[in-house]
Chains A and B, each alone.
Chain A
Amino acid sequence: MTHPDFLWRNPDPKPAYDVVIVGAGGHGLATAYYLARNHGITNVAVLEKGWLAGGNMARNTTVIRSNYLWDESAAIYEHSLKLWEGLSEELDYDLQFSQRGVLNLAHSLADVREARRRVNANRRSGVDAEWLDPDEVKKFCPIINVSERARYPVMGATLQRRGGIAKHDHVAWALARKADAYGIDLIQGCEVTGFEISGGRVLAVETSRGRIAAGKVALASAGHTSVLADQAGIRLPLQSHPLQALVSELLEPVLDCVVMSNAVHVYVSQAHKGELVMGAGIDSYNSYGQRGAFHVIEAQMAAALELFPLFSRVRVLRTWAGIVDVSPDASPIIGTTPVDGLYVNAGWGTGGFKATPGAGWVYAHTIAHGEPHPLAEPFALDRFTTGALIDEHGAAAVAH
């Protein structure tokens, strides 16, 4: 038996690149891919301190949707969702992208008002959205407990039928294979330890494998962005928190949509392989420890069992945490920085996976042109000074 073909080379770093991307997660790989595909920039390295897609790309719950409240968010997430819809074919790899529908449950009158407002806002933004009353929720997802006596009564739900899930590893591998085919170097085990900055311009990155000169440097480092930006003398409005998730043992098909509930801090889907994938809210404190506390899992399970009494005998297979970078308005920060040639794509918090192709698309444009892509412009760092925040706590606070 022979080893199958490798999907990408494992090159040593060259002394210099036009663009160095820091972080080979979903966003870093998508950015590299679109730099080559859309802008013809292929003298690019993606540096990864660990292994490819081993950070949050391996730890997320793979929910994809675009039903955000504000126009700016709807535009960028919908752009991403449209890219998802053609991505398997484009990358010639089955991403197991499944548009099975995403329910966002409402448990109180306030939830109902917020959800109906969001449905209206979504439709105005060209995002598909429907309001379901409890009976319709029951028809769409029969195993949800919609009893009025439930601790968290289901008073309705929004439904985005085009939302769904994808297989995160396949996404990373497919993007990596295409980026590699364009000649882009994906360099694992190469940690960025500092930046060489002269006259306000970045010239190179210092790494665990030596100095690498760079025309431009693009951060795509999620929870560790603050640590890197600090080395470049930049303070960002980000706080890093653990975000926990878990999977159950493998089950027969039982749940054919994604169910999310912001109010009770849980979101559930069933992966193609059969395990239930559940995510929680963030642990409250700042941490880089890639682990969280059991009481968060316990509260999440209590909520899940109220919604799905059927799951009461399901066993948890494993739990884990990733480190997410949360911004003050629960929206990402994309664009230029006070250092010339240094770009940032961060602050995606608990919901970066769904944005993988969209973020890569607009970030690549921003890097290639030295100024923000129109969809990225509202997400610039200066919004915290101008006050033009994009407050998505309603659509994003806990569950993405």
Chain B
Amino acid sequence: MLLIDCPHCGPRDEIEFRYGGQAGIAYPDTPGELTDTEWAAYVFLRDNPKGWFRERWFHVHGCRTWFTVDRHTVTHEFRQSP
């Protein structure tokens, strides 16, 4: 069970959260001009690193804040975002 540091509520158990995947995926600025390949990349391609990963969590059973953390995908430790 991860102990996740919610920016509003402090450290809380993982079961209170929902995972949001990779952080920083912005909706395209010019959606009308995207090719199929670019759409596929936006919709389906996400980083899948073995190591540090910048990701989103949602405190669904708490304050309902979405926030971003850095977590290591092997050790599962969190660090302050650089």
Contacts and interface: CB of A to CB of B under 8 A. Distances in A.
A289 to B, nearest CB: 5
Contact of A224 (B1, B19, B46, B50): B50
B75 A289 contact: yes
Contacts of A226: 48-50
A286 B55 contact: yes
Q: Summarize B's interface: helix, strand, loop or mixed.
A: mixed
B75 A285 contact: no
Given A227-B50, A386-B36, A286 B44 contact: no
Contacts, number: 63
Q: Summarize A's interface: helix, strand, loop or mixed.
A: loop
Nearest to B41: A235
Given A285-B71, A287-B73, A289-B75, A295 B1 contact: yes
A394 interface: no
Given A285-B19, A289-B74, A294 B1 contact: yes
Contacts of A384: 40, 43-44
Given A286-B53, A288-B50, A293-B2, A239 B74 contact: no
A131 B25 CA distance: 43
Interface in A361-400: 384-387
Interface in A87-123: none
B48 to A, nearest CB: 4
B15 interface: yes
A237 B45 contact: yes
A154 interface: no
Interface string A279-318: 0000011111100011100000000000000000000000
A287 B74 contact: yes
B73 A293 contact: no
Contacts of B46: 237, 239
Contact of A288 (B44, B55, B73): B73
Interface in A35-62: none
Interface residues of A, number: 24
A328 interface: yes
Contact of B48 (A284, A286, A328, A386): A286
A238 interface: yes
Given A284-B18, A286-B55, A237 B74 contact: no
Nearest to B19: A284
Nearest to A381: B40
A387 B36 CA distance: 9
Interface string B37-78: 101110111101110010100000000000000010111100
Contacts of B74: 287-289
A286 B74 CA distance: 9
Interface in A166-185: none
A295 B14 contact: yes
Contacts of B41: 235
A265 to B, nearest CB: 14
B54 to A, nearest CB: 11
Contacts of B55: 285-286
A387 B75 CA distance: 36
Nearest to B17: A284
Contact of B37 (A286, A289, A385): A385
A131 B48 CA distance: 39
A98 to B, nearest CB: 35
A328 B44 contact: yes
A239 B22 CA distance: 10
24 contacts: A226-B48, A226-B50, A227-B48, A227-B50, A235-B45, A236-B45, A237-B45, A238-B48, A239-B21, A239-B46, A240-B48, A240-B50, A285-B2, A285-B71, A286-B21, A286-B53, A286-B55, A287-B73, A289-B76, A293-B2, A328-B44, A384-B43, A385-B37, A385-B39
Given A286-B55, A385-B39, 9 more contacts: A227-B48, A227-B49, A239-B21, A285-B71, A286-B48, A294-B1, A295-B15, A384-B43, A386-B36
List the 10 closest A-B pairs by CB distance, nearest first.
A226-B48, A284-B19, A237-B44, A385-B40, A288-B50, A293-B1, A384-B44, A384-B40, A285-B19, A328-B44
